[in-house]
């Protein structure tokens, strides 16, 4: 039996797909700056989803959350990373281990894996769209591909932040009822993590005069 998806589930799915496509775009972006801008766009889409969920399900706290996530993830975080890039005076992303085509192929593979694994959970829930959850899982896996295959600290940090966007989509569609205090705590945590990533990236740049991770191979065994 295939019920016609509700408008709510439809919008959630479309947004989730947009987030996934942005993730793929990041994977192929040659410039670090464009990667950061793509992240800002992705965050904007996620904030939009928060507004939509708030309006359609009448959860007023989510408006506050959407505003907070807009300020943090669309304005502050990209701003901070772009400033770091300007100071570091580096434009091109570090050489990735594989070519773009192979990276995209791998990402297609893992996102299909994530989509079908989570999608195969036989959960029948009237209110909550499982498809969007499956796409969010695919976003998380593609973020992993980005982090593993790109060899510079900015791509890796952006990969982590966009992974968090994927989890945000999941949390908006299946856990919108989470208490606000918890959601705010999540965002606050992200902010602290961004600051720490920024500090360590800066220290790294200060020591090696580059943003590449190729020199980070001394500790082993």
Partner 1 sequence: MSSILVVLIVMPFVVGVATIFLPVGISKILTVMSGATTFALALTLVPAATAHTQIAVGSLLRVDALSVVFLVATAFLYGATAVFAGGYLHLADGPAGTRYGRRFYAGLNLFCWSMVAAPLVNGLALLWVAIEITTVISALLVAIDDTDGATEASWKYVLIASLGLGIALLATIIMYYAGTTVFGSAYDFSYAKLLAGAGRFPPDVVRLAFVLAVLGFGTKMGLVPVHTWLPDAHSEAPTPVSALLSGSLLAISFYAILRYFQIAVRTLGPTFARNVLLIFGLASLLLAALYLLSQRDLKRLLAYSSVEHMGILAIGMSFGAPIAVVGVLLHVLAHAAAKGTAFFGAGSVVRKFATKDMTKIRGGIGALPWSGPMLVAAVLALSAMPPFGMFRSEFLIVSGGLSDPRDTVAAVLVILVTLAFFGLSWFTTQTMLTPDVISVSADGTGVVTPPKGEVSAWIVVAMALGLVALVILGVHPPAQLSQLLNHAARELGALR
Q: Which of 196, 210, 211, 212 binds partner 1 (CB under 8 A)?
A: 196
* Residues linked to residue 203 through DSSP beta bridges, in sequence order: none
Quick one: which segment of 67-75, 82-90, 92-100, 198-206 binds partner 1 (CB under 8 A)? Answer: 198-206
Burial class of residue 192, CB neighbours in 10 A (0-12, 13-18, 19+): exposed
Q: Which of 6, 189, 209, 214 binds partner 1 (CB under 8 A)?
A: 189
Q: Considering the rule CB under 8 A, would residue 132 count as an interface residue with partner 1?
A: no
Taking the complex as a whole, the smallest distance from the CB of residue 171 to partner 1 amounts, in Å, to: 5
Q: Considering the rule CB under 8 A, would residue 33 count as an interface residue with partner 1?
A: no
Measured CA to CA, the distance from residue 220 to residue 130 in angstroms comes to 42
Q: Considering the rule CB under 8 A, would residue 203 count as an interface residue with partner 1?
A: yes
Q: Which of 131, 156, 158, 211 binds partner 1 (CB under 8 A)?
A: 156
Nearest CB to partner 1, comparing residues 74 and 146 = 146
Q: Considering the rule CB under 8 A, would residue 41 count as an interface residue with partner 1?
A: no
Neighbouring residues of 76: CB distance < 8 A, sequence distance ≥ 6: 191, 194
H/E element holding 144? helix 130-149
Q: Considering the rule CB under 8 A, would residue 174 count as an interface residue with partner 1?
A: yes
Residue with tokens 């050489």: 95
Q: Give SS3 for 211.
A: coil
H/E element holding 164? helix 153-174
Q: Which of 119, 167, 210, 212 binds partner 1 (CB under 8 A)?
A: 167
Q: Considering the rule CB under 8 A, would residue 58 count as an interface residue with partner 1?
A: no
CB neighbours of residue 147 within 10 Å:
16
Half-sphere exposure of 57 (CA within 13 A, CB side): 24
Q: Considering the rule CB under 8 A, would residue 177 count as an interface residue with partner 1?
A: yes
Q: Considering the rule CB under 8 A, would residue 127 count as an interface residue with partner 1?
A: yes
Contact 147, 160 (CB under 8 A): yes
Measured CA to CA, the distance from residue 51 to residue 65 in angstroms comes to 9
Please give the residue ranges that form the binding site for partner 1 (CB under 8 A).
57, 59, 118, 121-123, 125, 127-128, 133, 137, 140, 143-144, 147, 153, 156-157, 160, 163-164, 167, 170-171, 174-179, 181-182, 185-186, 189, 192-193, 195-197, 199-200, 203-204, 207, 213, 215-216, 218-219, 221
């Amino acid at each position: 039996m295939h019920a016609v998806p509700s408008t709510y589930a439809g919008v959630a799915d479309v947004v989730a797909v947009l987030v996934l496509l942005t993730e793929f775009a990041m994977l192929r972006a040659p410039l670090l700056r464009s990667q950061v801008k793509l992240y800002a766009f992705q965050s904007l889409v996620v904030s939009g989803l928060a507004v939509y969920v708030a309006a359609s399900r009448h959860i007023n706290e989510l408006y506050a959350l959407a505003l907070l996530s807009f300020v943090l993830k669309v304005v502050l975080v990209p701003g901070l990373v772009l400033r770091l890039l300007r100071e570091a005076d580096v434009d091109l992303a570090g050489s990735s281990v594989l070519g773009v085509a192979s990276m995209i192929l791998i990402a297609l593979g893992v996102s299909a894996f994530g989509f079908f694994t989570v999608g195969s959970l036989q959960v029948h829930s009237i209110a909550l769209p499982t498809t969007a959850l499956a796409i969010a899982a695919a976003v998380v896996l593609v973020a992993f591909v980005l982090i593993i295959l790109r060899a510079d600290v900015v791509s890796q940090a952006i990969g982590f932040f966009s992974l968090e966007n994927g989890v945000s989509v999941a949390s908006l569609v299946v856990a919108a009822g989470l208490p606000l205090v918890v959601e705010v705590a999540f965002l606050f945590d992200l902010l602290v993590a961004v600051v720490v990533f920024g500090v360590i990236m800066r220290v790294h740049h200060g020591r090696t005069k580059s943003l590449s991770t190729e020199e980070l191979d001394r500790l082993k065994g």
